[in-house]
Structure 1
Amino acid sequence: MDYDFIRDISGQVSVTFSMGHEALGHWFNEEVKGDLALLDQVEDNLRRLAGGQDSWQCIGHEYTLWTDGEEVIVRANDIAFVTDELEEGLSYYDEESLSLCGAEDFLQVVTQYRDFCRHTW
């Protein structure tokens, strides 16, 4: 999983992820938007759930983050479609709407995102 952080001219931080993990970037860019308190909440729940059987989700405006402490799933809230209506051989493109990664990898991204946000140029 590759990703890059950038800061635009207004100072807003955004992150882009490699193919297959784009929804993670969308979650950071649409839901977090520099809100380090939200990252603290997610991080606390990830650690609390590690090794257990419970799960937790953070429902945002555009994306929902779900975790069981072992893995993290980010999914677009509008991803529910009825596939019976598609013509034969066609399917919806949803590669940028759903991403999965391990909890430890996600926590690494959170740490680097936080560090990037705090760094003044």
Structure 2
Amino acid sequence: MRMSMGHEVVGHWFNEEVKENLALLDEVEQAAHALKGSERSWQRAGHEYTLWMDGEEVMVRANQLEFAGDEMEEGMNYYDEESLSLCGVEDFLQVVAAYRNFVQQK
């Protein structure tokens, strides 16, 4: 799956974590509906990426972002545009539905 700039990590999450595991998509959709209107959050850590959501937004981030800032050499910045993405829950659920349809039509 390919996504627009700023949302590449969402595509990576589908390619690396979901693959064709529709049960994971079911779990994500159920969590989204359970969180709607609440102040709770939910998280699903995978091998390469973690999906976090609350009642309003979804964050997908590469697990490699968890390293401490002092591990980098002085003057170096970590480029994370392809490793972190935020979007609204409803938008994310639309992508989940489109991905599910794509996989089922294969």
TM-score per shorter chain, which class?
over 0.9
TM-score, scaled to structure 2: 0.93
Aligned-pair CA distance for 1:54: 0.5
Runs of 4+ that moved beyond 4 A: none
Query: Matches of 1:96 and 1:81 in 2, distance apart?
Result: 16
Residue 52 of structure 2: aligned partner: 66
Q: Which amino acid in the other structure matches residue 78 of structure 2? A: Y
Question: Which of 87, 90, 94 pairs up with 2:74?
Answer: 87
The question of 1:32 aligning with 2:18 is answered yes
Q: What 5-or-longer segments of structure 2 have no aligned partner?
A: none
Query: Matches of 1:83 and 1:54 in 2, distance apart?
Result: 28
Which is richer in helix? Answer: 2
Which is richer in strand? Answer: 1
Q: Which amino acid in the other structure matches residue 108 of structure 1? A: Q
Query: Matches of 1:44 and 1:69 in 2, distance apart?
Result: 12
Identity, % of aligned pairs? Answer: 63
Residue 10 of structure 1: aligned partner: none
Question: Structure 2 matches for 1:1-121, cutoff 5 A?
Answer: 15-84=1-70, 85-88=72-75, 90-120=76-106
Which structure has the larger Rg over C-alpha atoms? 1
